[in-house]
Amino acid sequence: MGRRRRGRAVHGILLVDKPAGGSSNAVLQRVRRSLNAAKAGHAGTLDPLATGMLPVLLGEATKFASYLISSRKAYEATLRLGIETDSLDADGEVVSERPVPALTREDLETAVAALRGTQQQVPPMVSAIKANGERLYKLAREGREVERQARQIEVEEFEILEIKLPELRVRVRCSKGTYIRVLGADLGNALGCGAHVTALRRIWVAPFEGQAMVSPADIEIGGEALLLPMDAGLAHLSRVQLDAAGVQAFRHGHAVPAALMASKPDQIAVGSGRPVTEGAGLGADEPLRVCDPQGGIIGLGAVQRAAPLHIRPIKVLQLESETA
């Protein structure tokens, strides 16, 4: 017999306000236990030092993780100039100290401006990236350093919020895979004195800009009432509704012809609300939300270009009840 999964079938999204001092996985497990949820995952890891938005996906919502992890993010950080650490943040050991020069706002703005835009960034050794199957932070704990490949990132915004030398408070809006610790160290090097991050808060993860977060303590009290719908982060995707027969075919992994759509093929609703005639404007691999006649999401699909128009499944949600 297969191993029975523990917990209940809880489906949805929580925008958790991660506290400082614990790992993202520790926060995830606390949330999962609070809801007695059988399955949970998170979209995008935060360092133990960091606080802020950690999207936690529960149940079948975990199937949408890859559509959130690629998102843009925004942070606020405090940088301490003049001191460098081996982890590039306050959790590491000090490796060098240098005097902070008499910097003007113009000096700081010039250095910050040079770090905006598309660039190559080498991940830090203290990170969750794997090298030859091992996490870099584990290798770093053993005193080992390995070569890391630079990755392309984009820093859309890098602004100075407050200057209280030797500290700076900054705001960064950036692409997936950007390490604010590395960006802070790069700024310190450009200023000739080094720097490390002493505080870091993730303000939002796209597409959840401006949305309220809930603390792990809030979740222990409020429970499932705090859940967002499974497709809360997918409003930017096109949407199509199927009739009952179409729903059954889709759930069994079959491509669904236009005849089984609840609305006409020329009424596929895109994120902007503009109809798409016969799937025009939708790429063959572009995902769209597939819903039942009541509007509930049942998975993600894509337009199958061979005539006549079909919607083929990409992700199919299995929402049958699970017992504890």
The residues assigned a catalytic role are: 47
CA 21 to chain centre: 20
Cβ contacts of residue 316 below 8 Å, gap of 6+? Answer: 250, 251, 253, 298, 299
Tell me how far apart the alpha carbons of residues 169 and 161 are, in angstroms, rounded to a whole number: 5
97 C-beta neighbours (distance < 10 Å), count: 11
Cβ–Cβ < 8 Å for 27, 18:
yes
Determine whether 118 is exposed, middle or buried from the number of CB atoms within 10 Å of its CB (0-12, 13-18, 19+): exposed
Q: How far apart are CA 203 and CA 304, in angstroms?
A: 38
> Strands 51-58, 195-205: parallel, antiparallel or unpaired by DSSP?
parallel
d(CA 170, CA 159): 6
Exposure string of 43-76, with b = 16+ CB inside 10 Å and e = fewer, is bbebbebbbbbbbbbbbbbbbbbebbbebbbbbb
Element holding 81 (H helix, E strand):
strand 73-81
By DSSP bridging, strand 275-276 and strand 268-269 are antiparallel
In 3-state terms, what secondary structure has residue 237?
Answer: coil
CB 56 within 8 A of CB 24: no
